[in-house]
Amino acid sequence: MSTERGEQVIDTHYTTVHTLGREKGNKEKHLRYMQKDGKFPVVFHKPAGDWSPYLMDIFTTLVEIRWRVMLLIFSLSYILSWLFFGLIYWLIAYVNGDSDNADEDLCVANVRGFTGAFMYSMETQATIGYGFRSTTENCMVGIIVVTVQDVFSCLLDTIIIGIVVAKMASARKRAQTVAFSNCAVVNLRDGVLCLSWRLGDLRGNHILDGVIRAQLVRYVKKPLGFVVMSYQDLDIKDQNIVLVTPATIIHKLEPGSPLYSLGPDDLLEGYFEIVASFTYSDDSTGMLHQTRTSYTPTEIRWGQCFQDMVKSGKKHYKVDYGLFNETSWVSVPFMSAEEHDRRRCPVEGSPLLPSVKSNGHRGACQVNVDITGEVMNQTFL
C-alpha cells in the first residue's frame, strides 16, 4: 500500500514539475550558450571592411571555411593563374609579331591568339606537355615567364593540397563519433546526490587517454539586451578516462558545488547551462580532438539513472548503444542536496525537520523519508 502511495507521489511530482516547465518554456525561450553539437551561437561584430584578423592567419581561415567555398577557391586559383599567364604569353606573342611571322623568329611557337596562349599556359602549369606549343630560345622574356610560372605552380600546389588534406583530417569529424548522452540525471550514489551524464565512443579504434571537464555557465540579462556571463568549474570524479566502453561522468552535489542548493523545483526557473568537454588523442592519427555538449535545466532528469548497457560474453564485452540514452526511475528525494544533507544530519536545535529518530549513537541520525523503489522505465531520445 505504501509502495503504491509512493509511486503516485513521485509520478505526480515529476509530471507536475515537467508540465510546468514545458508551459514556462513555451512562454519564454532562452538562447542556448552552446548547442548540443558543441557549436556556439556567437556572432562577432567588427568594423566594416576589417578583414585583417582573417588575412593574418590565412591558412587557418581557409581550413575553417566550408567545403563548397574551398572547392570554389581551389578551382579559381588554377583557372585565374592560367588566364593570367596566358595573357602574358599572348602579349609576348603579339609584341613579337608571332601571328604575322610564319616560322622565323618566333617567341612562342604555334600561339596565334589568346586561345592558343591560354592552352599553352595550362599545358605548362599542369606539365601536360603536348609538344605542339613551346617557347623558343629566341625569346628570353618567354623563358623567364615559363620559369616563374613553374615555380608558382609548385607553390600553389603545395598550399592547396595542404589545405585540402588539413580539412580532410580535421578533428571535427572524429569528434562527431564521440557522443554525450542527450540528458543528464540526478540520483543517489553512496547516499550522496550526484549529477551524471554518459560519454561513449562509437568507433572501434578506442580512445585510451582523455580528460573530461565541466563548467556551470550562468547568464543574467541586463537592460538594453546585454548579457553578463559567469563561469564556475564543476568538480568531476575521475577526470582522466579510458574510453574503451561508455563511461558515466559523475559530479557530486556536495558542499562547495555550485549546484549544492539546486532542487528539482529550481530547474523550472534556472537560467544556466552545464558545458561539458572531452579532450582526447586518437590512437589512429595521434591528433588532439575535443567533443563538447551542454545541458540546460530542462535536460536534467531528477530521480533517474542510466540503464546498464555493457554485458559480458564468452569472448567479448558486448555494448548495446541502443540503451545509451535510456534511463529508469530510481529512489531519489525530491529536494536539493543541501536540504537532503540537513535532513540526514540536522544541526542540534534546528527547527527545520519535523521528526528525527535517533538510534542511540552520538552523531548518528535517521530520517523516515517515504520514497519508493524503481517505478518505471522511460527512454529519452
Could you tell me if residue 20 is inside a domain? no
On whether both 212 and 295 belong to a single domain, the answer is yes
The pLDDT value recorded for residue 50 is: 60
Average pLDDT over residues 274-282: 87
Rounded CA-CA distance 262/268 in Å is 11
pLDDT of 352 higher than 50 = no
| pLDDT level of residue 172 (50, 70, 90 thresholds) | low
Q: Is the CB of residue 325 less than 8 Å from the CB of residue 301? A: no
> How many domains does the chain fold into?
2
On whether both 164 and 183 belong to a single domain, the answer is no
pLDDT of 308 higher than 80 = yes
Average pLDDT over residues 179-193: 91
On whether both 135 and 237 belong to a single domain, the answer is no
Q: Classify residue 90 by burial, with Cβ atoms within 10 Å: 0-12, 13-18, 19+.
A: buried
pLDDT of 372 higher than 80 = no
On whether both 128 and 236 belong to a single domain, the answer is no
Could you tell me if residue 35 is inside a domain? no
On whether both 131 and 186 belong to a single domain, the answer is no
pLDDT of 366 higher than 50 = no
The pLDDT value recorded for residue 215 is: 93
Could you tell me if residue 364 is inside a domain? no
On whether both 160 and 300 belong to a single domain, the answer is no
Q: Is the CB of residue 338 less than 8 Å from the CB of residue 254? A: no
Average pLDDT over residues 292-315: 90
Could you tell me if residue 116 is inside a domain? yes
The pLDDT value recorded for residue 234 is: 93
Least confident of 70-84, 168-182, 207-221, 312-326: 168-182
pLDDT of 275 higher than 60 = yes
pLDDT of 249 higher than 90 = yes
The pLDDT value recorded for residue 105 is: 75
Could you tell me if residue 293 is inside a domain? yes
CB burial of 14-46 (b: ≥16 within 10 Å; e: otherwise) equals: beebbeebeeeeeeeeeeebbeeebeeeeeeee
Query: pLDDT above 70 covers what percent of the chain?
Result: 72
On whether both 133 and 270 belong to a single domain, the answer is no
CATH number at residue 263: 2.60.40.1400
CATH number at residue 58: 1.10.287.70
Could you tell me if residue 367 is inside a domain? no
pLDDT of 48 higher than 70 = no
Average pLDDT over residues 27-51: 67
Q: Count Cα atoms within 13 angstroms, Cβ side, for 89.
A: 34
Could you tell me if residue 358 is inside a domain? no
pLDDT of 152 higher than 60 = yes
Could you tell me if residue 157 is inside a domain? yes
> Of 142, 170, 198, which one is at a domain's C-terminal end?
170
On whether both 202 and 241 belong to a single domain, the answer is yes
Strand order in the sheet with 377-379: 304-306, 326-329, 377-379
pLDDT of 333 higher than 80 = yes
Q: Is the CB of residue 180 less than 8 Å from the CB of residue 291? A: yes
On whether both 156 and 302 belong to a single domain, the answer is no
The pLDDT value recorded for residue 284 is: 65
On whether both 181 and 280 belong to a single domain, the answer is yes
pLDDT of 173 higher than 80 = no
The pLDDT value recorded for residue 221 is: 78
Query: pLDDT above 90 covers what percent of the chain?
Result: 24
> Of 110, 141, 170, which one is at a domain's C-terminal end?
170
> Of 119, 146, 170, which one is at a domain's C-terminal end?
170
Range from 120-134, 269-283, 292-306 that averages highest in pLDDT: 292-306
pLDDT of 165 higher than 90 = no
pLDDT tens-digit series, residues 231-242:
999 999 888 888
Question: What's the angle, vertex CA 325, arms to CA 194 and CA 176, rounded to 5?
Answer: 105
Domain housing 285: 175-344
pLDDT of 318 higher than 60 = yes
On whether both 152 and 276 belong to a single domain, the answer is no
On whether both 241 and 155 belong to a single domain, the answer is no
